[in-house]
Chains A and B, each alone.
Chain A
Amino acid sequence: MSLSEEARARLRARFVEGLAGRLERLQSVRAELDAASPDAMAKARTLGHQLSGTGGSFGFPELSEHGRALELAPEVELVPALEALLHAVRLVVDQAELEAKEADR
């Protein structure tokens, strides 16, 4: 028993669609960390945890790995871990936009 390819593709597309919003939240938390906002670190770890538990389910193991690293990062490594996750999410979002443009041609 496993998912049909159609169902898998639909779920993956839905996940990717939601990544643009996650990218915005990550960027926002990045700014909050710069501003030393009191709960920025907790927010960063929550975002990391969320991607840790989802990315690999939809074919993006690198998002789970970077999410996990951010969730568990000690304070001094939090910003580099967040940057790494931001970069990985941006790559997926950019690739999806590129594919959408090519499909429109």
Chain B
Amino acid sequence: MGGVSRIALVEDNDDNRALIAALLEDAVPPFVLEEYVDGAAALAGMSAPHRPDLILLDISLPGMDGTEVLQALRQREHLRDVPIVALTAHAMRGDRERFLALGFDDYVTKPIVDEEILIGVIRRRLGEPVESE
């Protein structure tokens, strides 16, 4: 993949946005981050032809929840094949399978205790080499 990857982060929690922004800024090479505080803002910001390379989407959002936002994003032709990673504090047995069945490409749980997991998922989904591999 050439150039700097653009990642859209849809997350209502300020602290989590700041943490993920810092992680992505410090990554080598760095990512360009677009931040959205809810689904409505994300849908407005990702109108055609704007297409990030990857979307990190919180499940528990005010207004539309993450699964509704996912469905709305997938209905857009230009976003249909963009990898979308669920971010969720719902760590119940079977959640991973449920989110993948809904159409998410991957799943990362919060709190983000092991930052390498998040970065690893992002790099894998972008087709970039993962440091530990």
Contacts and interface: CB of A to CB of B under 8 A. Distances in A.
Interface of A: 1-4, 7, 11, 14-15, 18, 49-50, 52-58, 61, 64, 68, 71
B48 interface: no
Contacts of B28: 1
Given A1-B27, A1-B28, A1-B131, A54 B22 contact: no
Interface of B: 13-16, 18-19, 22-23, 26-28, 60, 88-89, 110-113, 115-116, 119, 131
A19 B119 CA distance: 27
Given A3-B26, A57-B111, A58-B19, 17 more contacts: A1-B28, A3-B22, A4-B26, A7-B22, A11-B19, A14-B15, A18-B15, A49-B60, A49-B89, A50-B13, A52-B111, A53-B110, A53-B111, A54-B13, A54-B111, A56-B113, A68-B89
Nearest to A60: B111
A4 B27 CA distance: 11
